[in-house]
Structure 1
């Protein structure tokens, strides 16, 4: 009885999540895909929890009901980051879609052109990422200058520290193991002055 109820309530949660997400992305304005998907997950978890509090949820004690709510929040977070956010942001999926668009093959020596001349423009990458950073409170734009906020500076320092100390030092990149991505700026071009 309890397992069947557990299964049924999980189906209810996922059904609500799917309906809410589809409605949201089709008929409501979205500022940031990840935040919108998180909001959808929280709403679905709250609605499923409300149903769980009805007599239909009597198979569960109060602690188990709370556990289910937390599980739904975690599953919703997993969905938000693993499906819409990954597909929206993933260069890997873009590569697959672009190769399919081009009939199933692209010359390897042209891939960098695909990224710089097509990906950036087609996905409005700069606009999307700046919007996300502004909405996250990590940057502000003042008089045409993109500036870090205190929050942005903190996250940048944490990210840089993690990258340099906790990313793989021997990562496979095109047949060779390298630590290039632990400090990608070491080979960066400094000839351009973009400062403001």
Structure 2
């Protein structure tokens, strides 16, 4: 009986999460999709958790068990936030599938570069979205039309460069060939660039 009540409460959390998320994206303002969806999960957990602690139907659960359920719901909400809205919002893979569908079910391989650089960047306002996310995250700041890393940004870059260089696959399949190109994508980058700011 106790397990059925826990399952019912979890089902209620999922329903409330989906309702809160749908209402937020339909009627609310969203700065960053990931942060917004995590906030929705926290709100849903608070709503259902309030019922969990207030209703006599759940009195047989100890405080520890209730806190465990709240933690599991937050983990599930976080997984939802990353795996569904954030992936669909950010994913080049989903974009390519949608674009192939839009273009009648097929695109020539040699034209995909054009699709990504000329259509994806514009249609998804990619620069605007990424700058907004990084500004909201506190990893960059814009000073006199110059985008600069903050201390937090430098720390994140240090972590990502270490992870990329040491913990990404060295034999990754890229169009029929195994390569380590993505462990150091700047390996063949041009050093002399004109877009630096002082």
Deviations 1:95-134 (A, max 9, x none): 1000000000000000000000000000000000000000
Deviation at 1:192, TM superposition (A): 2.5
Provide the residue aligned with 2:62 in structure 1. 61
Provide the residue aligned with 1:29 in structure 2. 29
8 Å CA contact 1:163–1:182 kept in 2: the answer is: yes
Q: TM-score, normalised to structure 2's length? A: 0.97
8 Å CA contact 1:168–1:182 kept in 2: the answer is: yes
8 Å CA contact 1:38–1:76 kept in 2: the answer is: yes
Q: Which deviates the most, 183-192 or 130-139?
A: 183-192
Deviation at 1:189, TM superposition (A): 2.8
SS at match of 2:26: helix
Deviations 1:6-43 (A, max 9, x none): 11001110011001000000111100000000000000
Aligned residues: 196
Deviations 1:132-155 (A, max 9, x none): 000000000010000000000010
What stretches of structure 2 of length at least 5 have no aligned partner?
none
SS at match of 1:100: helix
8 Å CA contact 1:139–1:148 kept in 2: the answer is: yes
8 Å CA contact 1:5–1:59 kept in 2: the answer is: no
Provide the residue aligned with 1:163 in structure 2. 164
Provide the residue aligned with 1:131 in structure 2. 132
**Mapping 1:142-153, distance limit 5 Å:** 142-153=143-154
Provide the residue aligned with 1:10 in structure 2. 10
Deviations 1:147-192 (A, max 9, x none): 0000000101110111001100000000111000000000223343
Provide the residue aligned with 1:109 in structure 2. 110
8 Å CA contact 1:120–1:126 kept in 2: the answer is: yes
Q: Which deviates the most, 182-191 or 8-17?
A: 182-191
Provide the residue aligned with 1:154 in structure 2. 155
Provide the residue aligned with 1:121 in structure 2. 122
Q: TM-score, normalised to structure 1's length? A: 0.98
What stretches of structure 1 of length at least 5 have no aligned partner?
none
Provide the residue aligned with 2:194 in structure 1. 193
Show structure 1 runs of 4+ deviating over 2 A.
189-192
Q: Distance in 2 between matches of 1:64 and 1:158?
A: 36
Q: Distance in 2 between matches of 1:92 and 1:195?
A: 30
Q: Distance in 1 between matches of 2:166 and 2:114?
A: 31
